[in-house]
Amino acid sequence: MKKAMTISYEVGDNLYLNFTNKCPCACTFCIRSHADGAYGSDPLWLEHEPSEDEIKADLGKRDLSKYGEIVFCGYGEPTERIDTVVSIAGWIKEVCPEAKLRINTNGLGDLVNGRSIAEELCTAVDTVSVSLNAGTEDEYMKVTRPRFSNAFTAMQQFTADCVATGKADVVMSVVDVIPQEQIDASREIAEKLGAVLRVRKFDD
């Protein structure tokens, strides 16, 4: 495991932000278990969690206006640092008002932080993408392996709360390696919660 301080990295037309390596899940398909980086990036295992000043200094070296989206998504669950996400999102909007902000989350931020975070998060970003991963609780627990026993219910409640704010687009995602019946069941869950389902391709 190589450690570095890759705070931001480009994937296609987007810029991804890596603030933490903490995560309450140990997903069976997680790229972290296969490589030190993602999509050709430098290692994403952090020497330490960067301060807001370090994050701003890193982003200050980039032309933020050139990216299709700026995405809170690194080698950890970004809502482990919800206050930093919200603060940096606000700062980005100040220095680059046209920036489109997305967060990729496992949807367990309420459990991580011990409070509902939907309102503050949806006020800060344009799109919330929740990793649903499976269409039934049994499969979800097998694939995601969260440390919380009520993760499946909490993830859905978080998604519903985000939809209810009306302040951000809400997407749920699964990876195309799961069986079609699980994808169909996932679509039913997303529709029930008022979110859109996105089926992502698995990248080796």
Contact assessment for residue 155 and residue 190, using Cβ atoms and an 8 Å cutoff: no
pLDDT score of 1 more than 90? no
Task: Report pLDDT digits (tens) over 23-40.
Answer: 999 988 777 666 555 555
- At residue 152, the pLDDT reads 97
Mean pLDDT (the chain) is 92
- At residue 204, the pLDDT reads 42
Please report, for residues 116, 143, 153, the alpha-carbon distance to residue 185 in angstroms, rounded to integers and kept in the order given: 26, 15, 15
Alpha helices in 128-172 (DSSP H): 137-144, 151-165
Lowest mean pLDDT among 56-60, 90-94, 200-204: 200-204
Residue 6: closest CA among 43, 60, 40: 43
Of the two residues 23 and 204, the one the predictor is more confident about is 23
In this prediction, residues 166-183 reach a mean pLDDT of: 92
Q: What percent of the chain has pLDDT over 70?
A: 92
- At residue 36, the pLDDT reads 54
Task: Report pLDDT digits (tens) over 149-164.
Answer: 999 999 999 999 999 9
- Where do we find the tokens 């990216």? 67
Task: Report pLDDT digits (tens) over 73-117.
Answer: 989 999 999 999 999 999 999 999 999 999 999 999 999 999 999
State the pTM of this model: 0.93
- Catalogue all structural domains in the chain, each as residue range(s) with its CATH number: 3-200 (3.20.20.70)
Task: Report pLDDT digits (tens) over 117-141.
Answer: 999 999 999 999 999 999 999 999 9
Q: What is the pLDDT confidence band of residue 44, given thresholds at 50, 70 and 90?
A: confident
The Cα–Cα gap between 92 and 70 comes to: 9
Contact assessment for residue 173 and residue 73, using Cβ atoms and an 8 Å cutoff: no
